[in-house]
Amino acid sequence: MSDPLVTTTLARPARLAGQRLLTKRVVVTGGARGIGGEIARRFASEGARIVVLDRLVEEGTRLASEVGGTFIPVDLVDPLDTADATARAIDHLGGVDILVNSAGILRFSPLLEVTVTDWNEMFSVNARAMLTTMQVATRAMIAAGCGGKIINLASMAAKTGGAGEGHYAASKAAVVALTRVAALEWGTHGITVNSLCPGYVLTDMGAATRTDEDIATWCGYSPLGRLGEPADVAGVALFLASPDADYLTGQAINVTGGMVMH
């Protein structure tokens, strides 16, 4: 995609909720809405400078304006565009301290009906694009010599699976494995890499097929008796991005309200 980046002229909030990410340079994929959008908001409230990468131009531009950041459109199915957009984001920020890979797609299909096209699309966005953004960001982090943090959004499906979501669960299991290997390979450079495995979070993803009965059923699976909100995941992401998590790497952390306890 050749669209120009969109930079807002709004001043950053004068009063920040905190200072844990003050001056940190953050790239968030899938940051236009949902969990990624809430992470961008939370990080900005802690002083971070944000670049949002997403295919949703209108929503991404609006979110970037809200947090006083920058939006760059990207087609994550295209590895060249993914690499280019990530490099442009890092160049705009003058480096990168934190990469959050939140972009993902969800499709339901019985395994016997999953096509090669279905499989490739799922993995191209949920796993391959993540590898590309990590490669670009990590090279910049190593060159700067100041370490960094990478946070990848997986899913509880990576650990439990579920009928009708075989290719989705497999792609998210790939995220967990990719995270662990990256943590092993890049730890000597001071880079931590962790993944989050959210449970059923009430976002636009899956809303088209979600019924009130589905919500009631899923609420019953959590000891807390409710489903997750984007803020529940953003809070854990903030912990991982903060100095409090400097000695934590290679983990796949459940944010499931107790639906998964391992």
Question: Which residues are catalytically annotated?
Answer: 168
Residue 28 parent element (H or E): strand 25-29
Residue 40, Cβ neighbours under 10 Å: how many? 31
Residue 52 parent element (H or E): strand 49-54
From the centroid of its chain, how far is CA 25? 15
What's the Cα-to-Cα distance from 58 to each of 33, 52, 61, rounded to whole Å? 11, 12, 5
Give the integer Cα–Cα distance in Å for 185 and 180: 9
DSSP letters, 62-98, are HHHHHHT-EEEE--TTSHHHHHHHHHHHHHHHTS-SE
Strands across the sheet with 148-153, in order? 6-7, 70-73, 49-54, 25-29, 98-101, 148-153, 191-198, 252-255
